[in-house]
Structure 1
Amino acid sequence: MPATETPALANATVLIVRHAEKPPEGDGLTSAGEARARAYVQYFKKYRLTHIFAASDSKKSRRPRLTVEPLAASLRQKVDVRFPDSDPAALVKELGAQRYGGRILISWRHGKIPGLIEAFGADPKKLLPAGRWPDDVFDEVIELRYDRKGQLLPEKAKLIHENLMPGDSHP
């Protein structure tokens, strides 16, 4: 990389959420999930997001996209859904190859979030209970921060409890 070129993730913050609450059947969100998606408009305002990604729709779920669509609409952004949750490395490669920088929000399926965290170079065992996203938790955000060289700052990686909706699991 030439000396004048800035790394793609320089000074970036990557925020990862699980899709909002899901029904027992179907590919959408429950009314509580729809309420969380709407509440994200205000919750993420302070982050001044520059890009929003969601796992591609699958035959069984549109939830990652539906979770961030109200937020994206409020910011007049499009949700980038090019990447399936089965290939988190493709998303990370894209972010590393392009100048996204800034503050990036990613909505993903919970069972695949540990792999996404690993693809970003972080340790899911240090961020999630037993290295897994719990099946019944919808109210947390993973924050990954990068330095001016685009290197992950592992000591700054953290799990944030949203405390956004009634009944969220953390005080």
Structure 2
Amino acid sequence: MLLRFILSALCLVLSVASAKHRPTVYLIRHGEKPADKREHGLSPEGELRAQCLRHVFGKRSEYNIGYIIAPHTKRNGEHGRSLFTVQPLAKDLGLTVDTHCKRGKVRCVVEAIHSYKGPGNILISWRHGPMGKIVEALGDGVPIEYPDER
């Protein structure tokens, strides 16, 4: 009888330990853009933000990032700011940034989040427009609104 109780308790512990991993999702806006609207990269301030993220979300941080998502970048670099913002961090963490979702496809981002089964948390770097829609689609009732002038 005692052996059966111990085995039952052990099974309960194992089932709790193997319960589905629910990562925390961190959503950041891409780095600042250059004054020339024809340029698709980051401004010096945006480059600085990308470098700062290495320290904020890096290996020694408490954020434990295991997966990074940014929108698909066109061949000419258009829509690349979000990717450029997280590339230094991804390199430090040994991660490849998932860029399979196009920037307006909120459902794709949500599906990528729900499909992630790996270790660690999720960092999403996106443009400000769809960020509120991403938050709303994930089930938060209060979407983020960023002013365009920031």
- TM tier, smaller: 0.7 to 0.9
Equivalent positions of 1:75-154 (< 5 A) are 75-100=93-118, 102-125=120-143, 128=144, 132-137=145-150
Partner Cα distance (1:94, 1:79) in 2: 12
In structure 1, the gaps of 5 or more residues are: 138-171
Secondary structure of 2:123's aligned partner: strand
Please, what TM-score do these two structures have when normalized by structure 1? 0.67
Cα offset for 1:6? 3.9
Partner Cα distance (1:107, 1:44) in 2: 12
**Runs of 4+ deviating beyond 6 Å:** none
Given residue 73 of structure 2, which amino acid in structure 1 is its aligned partner?
A: D
In structure 2, the gaps of 5 or more residues are: 1-14
Cα offset for 1:12? 1.2
Q: Which structure has greater helix proportion?
A: 2
Question: Greater relative contact order: 1 or 2 (C-alpha under 8 angstroms, separation 6 or more)?
Answer: 1
Partner Cα distance (2:79, 2:50) in 1: 15
Partner Cα distance (1:117, 1:100) in 2: 21
Partner Cα distance (1:13, 1:32) in 2: 27
Residue 24 of structure 2 contacts residue 121 of structure 2 at CA under 8 Å; is this kept in 1? yes
**For each residue in 1:80-115, what CA deviation from the matched residue of structure 2 results, as whole angstroms up to 9, or x when unmatched?**
101112111112113223414631000001011011
- The alignment yields a C-alpha RMSD, in angstroms, of 1.9
For the pair shown, the structure with the greater C-alpha radius of gyration is 2
**For each residue in 1:15-37, what CA deviation from the matched residue of structure 2 results, as whole angstroms up to 9, or x when unmatched?**
00010001131111001100110
Equivalent positions of 1:1-171 (< 5 A) are 6-7=19-20, 10-24=21-35, 25=37, 26-45=39-58, 46=61, 47-58=63-74, 60-100=78-118, 102-125=120-143, 128=144, 132-137=145-150
**For each residue in 1:112-166, what CA deviation from the matched residue of structure 2 results, as whole angstroms up to 9, or x when unmatched?**
10111112111234xx3xxx212244xxxxxxxxxxxxxxxxxxxxxxxxxxxxx
Partner Cα distance (2:124, 2:114) in 1: 15
Partner Cα distance (2:118, 2:136) in 1: 19
Q: Percent identity?
A: 32
Q: Across the two proteins, how many residue pairs are aligned to each other? A: 127
